[in-house]
Amino acid sequence: MSVAVVDVERCVGCGLCVDLCPYEGAVAVKEWKSNVNETICRGCGVCVGICPSLALNVKYLTNRQILARVRVLLKTTRDYEVFEPKILIFICDWLSRKGANLSDVSKVQRSSNVRATKFPCVGAIDPTLIFDAFINGADGVLVAGCGVKDCDYIDGNVKTESRIKHAKMCLKDVGVEPERLAFKLIPLSTARVEFIESLREIIETVKNLGPNPIKR
Ligand code: SF4
Ligand code: SF4
């Protein structure tokens, strides 16, 4: 079963994981160390996305594994004579299972450099994964989660919003246009169409901005 796992050496006992966890009693801090109750924890990863010490991971899908996967995905992209934006889609697994269809990606114009990786919930996305994607050559990132009322983990999706806003500010501070990072919560009822629309939008935006300035 998928649950959160704490690295007690890293945990500083800040309690953010307790504040943000959508499930009461799934995680608690005792003697300055976080402790996960595996019978309550649903493995949504919201605590992983918020932990400032990188002390949490979802079992079987650690941030280290995601990092490695994203870097490999970016290596499979190509530099074409006419700019084809390298776009990474960070998508909620439930959205891709219940609505958005990743196999539709190839039908979108200029999508040959689009790659996707799944998360249990967009709430599990640590901003460092987004920054790492840009450092490793992404021209844009689309974070796609389920609509506001459709989250399988109560409100894990909306808890991501402020984190993305902050990530955009950080990108701006280092000279990367914040528009390169898009965040969409897509209702499941219209997911197939809206997901593709969101992808078209980010491809168009990034195409107009040109290559990621970090690369220059
Ligand atoms: S958010 Fe991270 S550092 Fe803070 S208590 Fe939870 S596991 Fe420990
Ligand atoms: S936020 Fe999700 S993964 Fe973390 S302890 Fe709570 S239920 Fe488990």
Residue-wise pLDDT for 128-161, tens only, equals: 999 999 999 999 999 999 999 999 999 999 999 9
The CA distance from 5 to 3, in Å, is 6
Q: How far is the CA of 5 from the centre of ligand 1 (A)?
A: 11
For 134, the token pair is 């840009």
> 27 CB under 6 A from ligand 2?
yes
Q: How far is the CA of 14 from the centre of ligand 1 (A)?
A: 5
Ligand 1 atom at minimum distance from 27 CA: 6
Report the top-level CATH class of 65-209.
alpha beta
Ligand nearest to the CA of 20: 2
**Check whether domain 4-58 has CATH 3.30.70.20, yes or no:** yes
Residue-wise pLDDT for 95-136, tens only, equals: 999 999 999 999 999 999 999 999 999 999 999 999 999 999
Residue-wise pLDDT for 155-196, tens only, equals: 999 999 999 999 999 999 999 999 999 999 999 999 999 999
Q: Hey, which of 37, 39, 42 would you mutate to test ligand 2's pocket, going by the most ligand atoms within 8 Å of its Cβ? A: 42
> 13 CB under 6 A from ligand 1?
yes
The CA distance from 102 to 100, in Å, is 6
pLDDT averaged over every residue in the chain: 96
Q: Hey, which of 19, 23, 24, 121 would you mutate to test ligand 2's pocket, going by the most ligand atoms within 8 Å of its Cβ? A: 23
pLDDT of residue 216 exceeding 80: no
Which uninterrupted H or E stretch holds 116?
strand 114-119
pLDDT band at 51 (very low <50, low <70, confident <90, very high): very high
Q: How far is the CA of 89 from the centre of ligand 1 (A)?
A: 27
Three-class SS of residue 113? coil
Note the pLDDT of residue 122: 97
Residue-wise pLDDT for 3-32, tens only, equals: 999 999 999 999 999 999 999 999 999 999
Domain boundaries, the chain: 4-58, 65-209
The CA distance from 51 to 125, in Å, is 11
